[in-house]
Structure 1
Amino acid sequence: MSTATATWLADVLGVPSLEEGATLTVRGQELVVRDGIPRMRQLLSDDQAETTEMFGFKWTQEDTFTRPEALELMRGWLESRYGRVADAPWWGEYGGRPLVLDAGCGAGVSGLEVFGPLGDRVRYLGADLTPAVDVARRRFADRGLDAAFLQADLTRLPLAPGSVDVIFSEGVLHHTDSTEGALKAVAPLLRPGGRILFYVYRRKSLIREFTDDAIRAQLQEMTPEEAWTALEPLTKLGIALGELGVEIDVPEDIDVLGIEAGRVDLQRLFYYDVFKAYYDPAMTFGEMHHINFDWYAPKNAFRQTEDEVRRWCGEAGLDVEHEHIHRSGITIIATKR
């Protein structure tokens, strides 16, 4: 982190400086500066601590998400839902160098793809509970991008209300103790007219919901390394189903199971309606396994309906201006009233 970035982060936090080893109390949160990153000391709930441990492990498996081809696929997935954010016309509403908060930045994979093209035209602040912030900082630096980071709970960030121009939270709010609570915790940080861009899991069909919870419950008794290994046969089965290239006809809607009629690839039928086992022939085994682990390993992984998400936005003072509903999840861009 450059001196200039340390200065604006200190200003955002409302402290004189960010000296290495300093202990700071910011808006009721105790932080310690270690390796240039302010880090929260307060303990988490048991469920959130477990989720943090799993994700902390996942983001150390860098060979499963850093291949250029995999990043290109990720970029395409993001742009299909949000559009090309760097080219959005609304950046002009925020003046010079708006503050962008990546709430749950992980290793900075999505943040780099979405905001990297903006370079130093924004002040990027990545916040994550896990040590993945250290990975993210290095990856931003490798791209020649200066950014600031916090290791902190996104539901209790030490930021002033109305201090942020844009919040980005890609696939994170549902990994807290409450998706609704997390959304309503970060929304007040936006200034009036500020925007939030987020993606949350959508509720699936009956068997898929049951299977997801049953597998997730088993993994809670394992270490992250054990859970990673336990899921490998599932990933292999997903690949085997995908490589069959077989389509079947579901003759009519099965309302009692939430399965829709139509012609469908057998792997996709299993994927959406029985159990998640990702398949993409353009990906390596490790990359597909990373996606499956991301889904099953964290204890906190809530699913919601689009009506719930719309209601929560309204209650948080957010006006939805763009939504993308996919079988996997719900993508929202909303403005703060």
Structure 2
Amino acid sequence: MPEQFFLSVLAIAAVLLIVRLSTNRITSRHFNIISQLIKMNEVDGFDPVKLLHHLEPFLTKLGIKDYGYYLFYHNTEYVRRNGSMRKPMEKFVHTADYTVYIGIVPRFGRLDPDFISRILVEIIFLLLKADVNIQTASAREAFRKSEEIQTFVNHDVKNLIQFVNALEFNLNEVQDEAGHKRLIRYLQKSLPSLKVRADKILSALNSTRPEPDSIPEKMRPIVLASDISAIYGIVLHSENSIDTEITAGKRELTVIIENIIKNFYDKSIVEPGIDLFMSMDEEDGAYLLTFRDTGSPIPDCEKIFEPFYSGKVNGLGIGLFHCRNLAMGMNGFLKAENTPDGPVFILSVKK
């Protein structure tokens, strides 16, 4: 009996030793791969979009296939939906300049410690957040410098105009040979300085000035919505509405309308035969864009705008939350209601 007990203790100790050695080996390998990802991010110039594109091969090496992300910055969305039914480990942040979300479903073996998954989520999230902050700061600095350049250009252009006006006046006033000679000597002395100013202007004009985050443009929302619907193969019906041009941030409006139409498209897959209608009206100094469908009602018209809430399989639950923030940034609002004629999304855009 004591021998059996002793053998059992030895067996348990051997198993624990194997688990410990395996864990150390796996942990070392994971951190080595994470280190490679960090170095790759530096080589790519801290570009968050490139980081997202390079994630898959690194996560595959770590045994992870199910992950999702959402990045909105510089008025562009980058989305990958998680394909797993399991709840991912998640990190999320939303600011006036960007939105970052990362969710990872760990698929490590039984010997893998859970903290590695958490560290991985934290590292990727912090890399994305840092990259976006770096790029945003760089864009602001470039814009600030372009404003300074514009000030100098305006000053030099003003000097050039004054020089040309003075030259025109002198040419009209010169009547004799001596006057012509004086004018030529003046031009010979002035030309080097004039050339320097002209070169500075040309150099400044050849540099690229970054676009502001949002440029108001004239557009017809019904045409924009119809174009987006056509991409998804959806017939958008217009009902009792005006069709007029509005001035708003086109990129923001496109993101909001496309999100609403994508949600209808996903809904039409599980509820075939439903239709989508759009109307446009004016009310209290704003344009109201209403999207109505003939499908089932919305379970909770406020909860759908909460981050991470989604009624769709594999949904990230960020799209509508982000769209509402975009609408508020345009001094408008986005809300959902259930009506006798079907569920509606109402977008208000200030005139």
Give the structure-1-normalised TM-score: 0.23
Of structures 1 and 2, the larger Rg is shown by: 2
Give the structure-2-normalised TM-score: 0.23
Q: Which has the higher helix share?
A: 2
